[in-house]
Every structure is written in C-alpha cells, then in structure tokens.
Chain A
Amino acid sequence: MRAIFTISALLIIPFLYCTVKTSTALKIRIELDVFSGRPNPGWVLENAEVDTINHMLQNLPPCKTPVPTDGLGYRGFILYREEEGKKETIHVYNNMVSLEGNPSKILIDQNHVEQALFNMAKQKGYSKLLEELGLK
C-alpha cells in the first residue's frame, strides 16, 4: 500500500509542479482589438485560462496567406504574453495567429483560439459591443 502511494506521489507531484509553474510564471493579458480612439477593452487571464490558451497556441502550422488588412471595427484579439521578463505580442484574427518579431510568424489558428477568446469576451461583458459589430 505504502509503495503504491509513494509511486503515485512521484508521478503526480512533478505534474502538479509543472502545471503550477506554468500558471504562475506565464502571464497573458488580452485586448479585444476594436477601438480606434479609446484604449481597447481588455482583461488578464486567470491561471487556468493561461494554461488553456497557451496550450491552444502550441504546435500551430505555418500559414502562407498574408494577414488581411485590418481596419475600423473588429480586428480580433491582441495577446500580451510575458514569461520571466520575456514579452511577446500575438495577434489572433481571421483564423490566423501572428507573432510579432523580426521576422514575424503567421500560423493557422487550427485550435480555434479566436473562438475561445471570443467566448471569453462575451463572458467578460462585451456581448453588446460585439453584437453591434454584427458578431454573435
């Protein structure tokens, strides 16, 4: 019995450690990219949400289509990702995930990050704003 407990603990503890480490070390702030004059509305992800969104951003395939010209109104989401001082800005729009940098990377949003963030925005109270843009 004791051996089983010990083996279980050895298996579970590293997993818990990794999960906790990811949540606390990595911060993600989301902006609903929609305004021109005013600052965009935004929110900071909870630890569990960080894990979910971060997982969805992994292993996305590259996209050869250029990012469409964004204009007035809905332009998707901007993710400000920060981990141990390293900052990264990610745009999620029109089924594409683009990572700012030199060179920038454009990936296909096959894990539906934009939809997940869209649902989150509605939960955060931006349903009316999105509906005004014809987005439901």
Chain B
Amino acid sequence: MKITLNVFSGRENPSWELSEKDAKSFLERFAKKTVLSASEHQAQLGYSGFTAETFTDERLPDGIPSSFFIGGKLAPGISEHGHINPLLSETESVNAEEWLLSKAGKIVPDEILNYISGELKAKLKGIDYETTEKITEDLEFKKLVHASPCIIANTPYNPGFWNTPATQPHNNCYNYSMNYRSNTFAQPGRKTGHMYTSLDCNNVGNAASSDGCKPICTGSSKLVALVIWPGNDYHWYRRHSQGFWGHKPGGTAARNIDNIGRLINGTTLTPANCNRGPYTVFCGYRYSPTGMQVS
C-alpha cells in the first residue's frame, strides 16, 4: 500500500510503501468506519492529510476503496453524517496520521515532520491549522530528494489479479513486473517516448530506465530482473514479499514457477534456480519504484 503525505502544491509529495504487516494493521483501524474518497476530501495548501492507495494487485478488505484519504477536511457539501458507518473521530484520525508519519522513516525530513506534528497537535486542540505556518516548498523538496533511502517494498504474490479473461491476454511480463495493468501489452520506454530499438540488455534496460525502472535503488522500490533472448525478445521477473519470484510469459497466466515447473524460490535467477528457456542472457537486477506506470 502506497502512502502519500499531501503537503506540497507544486512539487511531488513524499510517498512510501507500507509493509504487508503494517498495511494490515493500518486497515484494521477502519473496521466499521467510513474513509473519505477523493471526491469527499478537500485539497488545500500545506498539510492536507494522507492518501492511501493501491492500483496494483494488492488485496483490500471489503468496503475499502483502492484510494482513500486520512486527515484533512471534508469537501464542501459533504456531510460527516451521510455515511452508513461513521467517519473517524478527530482523535482516531490524528492517531492514524501520527502512526503513518512514524512509518515514513527518513523519507520525510525532520523539518516537515515537526511541521506536521504541530498541525496535528493544533487539530486536537481545536486550532484552525490552516493559519499555522506553511513550509517553504522548494527548500524542503530539495532536502527530500537527497533523503530518499532504498526501501525494498516487494508485494505479495496475487496471480488472481492478472489471470482473468479481461486482463491476462492484454498484459505481459513488463506489466506484471512493474505491477501496472495498462491493458496495452506494455513495452519498455513506450510511456516516456524512448522505446527500445534493439533486443539487448543495454537497450531494453535504458528504455525501462526512461520509464523509471532504475539499476540503483532509491526510495520505495520492488526488485525486478531483466533477461534477454538475444535479438528476439526480453522477459522480466518480479520478486514477491514471500521470497520467491513471479512472472508472466506474454499473454499467458502469471505464475511463480519456471519452465520446468519448479517454484522460483532461489535468491538468484541463474539457470540452476530458474529454467528460463531461450532467455539465456541475464542482464541483472533492477528497481521499479512503487507507483511506476507503463504503457
């Protein structure tokens, strides 16, 4: 589950991935409660709560939308009494917000943490936090960029998301590994206008880098690997949180077994651990940022 701290207006907001255990714990807070959807939440300058979202194959409990807000204000015209289950109380909301902040690690610099903590305390005391001091966005963003440690955020294996008649034929190994269902049989570099021009490690790897999949880990990322059938094709694998690898050969079903039916359970993808058929050239491991999109 991806968490975004809504605090900037012109720059990218800081975001991070919750571990499977933390995501479960987070969602338990909302049993028999209503969370705000995008249309019910009011965007504003400065701190305006957190967005929790999943647009991948992660499972969510019934009644929880794939994107929702914690903290912030209700949009104009939205009543807090118009839901079957009640909204979070002020205290419950602040507790959830403080808990999310505690899971941000070093992604959110201390200056921003202090600012948000002040806003939350003011909220509990009933002070209108719109009037409190706002951060200097550009300065803080620059600090943020330099403070993006590597966080491996591999997600659980969920083949059911991919293996349906509406999804399976239209998404390939690149969609699966970058965990983004585009229904376009995605190609490395196509989204960013730098599609590969030959089928070798450098060319396909650079095209994927253009889309955001990098050879170096920064920020919240999932571990993926690229292999090549020289001159003919490429293939990608994705590491799952259970410790094995998953992949999706072309329009066929997503799976966690190799070409001879073995669970791809080794740390590496050498032929001893993983029969790769004609994809004989191993290009190396790469890091796909959480939230990366392909087309």
Distance between Cα atoms of A129 and B233 in the complex (Å): 11
Distance between Cα atoms of A75 and B277 in the complex (Å): 11
Closest beta carbon of chain A to B248's beta carbon, Å? 8
Residues of B near A36 (CB, < 8 A) are 172-173, 233-235, 248-250, 279
SS class, residues of chain A in contact with chain B? loop
Distance between Cα atoms of A81 and B154 in the complex (Å): 40
Proximity string of chain B (224-261) to chain A, C-beta cutoff 8 Å, 1 when within and 0 when not: 00000000111110000000000011111001011101
* Cβ A129 vs Cβ B250 within 8 A: no
SS class, residues of chain B in contact with chain A? loop
Any chain B CB within 8 A of the CB of A43? no
**Known: A37-B173, A37-B174, A37-B236. Is A72-B278 also a contact (CB below 8 A)?**
yes
* Cβ A133 vs Cβ B250 within 8 A: no
* Cβ B234 vs Cβ A70 within 8 A: no
* Cβ A35 vs Cβ B277 within 8 A: no
Residues of B near A75 (CB, < 8 A) are 249-250, 252
**Known: A33-B250, A37-B187, A37-B235. Is A72-B172 also a contact (CB below 8 A)?**
no
Any chain A CB within 8 A of the CB of B185? yes
Interface residue from B234, B249, B276, B278 paired with A133 (Cβ < 8 Å): B278
Among B174, B187, B235, B251, chain A packs the most CB atoms within 10 A around the CB of: B251
> Closest residue to B260 on the A side, CB-wise?
A71
Closest beta carbon of chain A to B44's beta carbon, Å? 43
> Closest residue to B175 on the A side, CB-wise?
A37
* Cβ B257 vs Cβ A69 within 8 A: yes
> Closest residue to A89 on the B side, CB-wise?
B169
**Known: A71-B258, A71-B277. Is A39-B185 also a contact (CB below 8 A)?**
yes
Residues of A near B187 (CB, < 8 A) are 37-38
Count A-B pairs with CB separation below 8 Å.
Answer: 64
Closest beta carbon of chain B to A1's beta carbon, Å? 59
**Known: A36-B250, A72-B277. Is A129-B173 also a contact (CB below 8 A)?**
no
Distance between Cα atoms of A33 and B233 in the complex (Å): 12
* Cβ B278 vs Cβ A71 within 8 A: no
Any chain B CB within 8 A of the CB of A132? yes
* Cβ A72 vs Cβ B249 within 8 A: yes
* Cβ B234 vs Cβ A72 within 8 A: no
> Closest residue to A129 on the B side, CB-wise?
B232
Distance between Cα atoms of A78 and B233 in the complex (Å): 18
Ranked nearest first, the 4 interchain pairs of A and B with the lowest CB-CB distance are A72-B277, A73-B277, A71-B259, A37-B234
Q: Which residues of A contact B (CB under 8 A)?
A: 33-40, 69-73, 75, 78, 100, 129, 132-133
- With A37-B172, A70-B252, A73-B278 given, name 14 new contacts (CB 8 A): A33-B250, A34-B233, A36-B173, A36-B233, A36-B235, A36-B249, A37-B187, A37-B234, A37-B236, A38-B187, A72-B259, A72-B276, A72-B279, A129-B232
Can you list 30 residue pairs at the A/B interface with Cβ under 8 Å?
A33-B251, A35-B233, A35-B250, A36-B173, A36-B234, A36-B248, A37-B173, A37-B174, A37-B233, A37-B235, A38-B187, A38-B199, A38-B233, A39-B185, A40-B251, A70-B249, A70-B252, A71-B259, A72-B249, A72-B259, A72-B276, A72-B277, A73-B277, A73-B278, A75-B249, A75-B250, A100-B165, A129-B232, A132-B232, A132-B278
Q: Which residues of B contact A (CB under 8 A)?
A: 165, 172-174, 185, 187-188, 199, 204, 232-236, 248-252, 255, 257-259, 261, 275-279
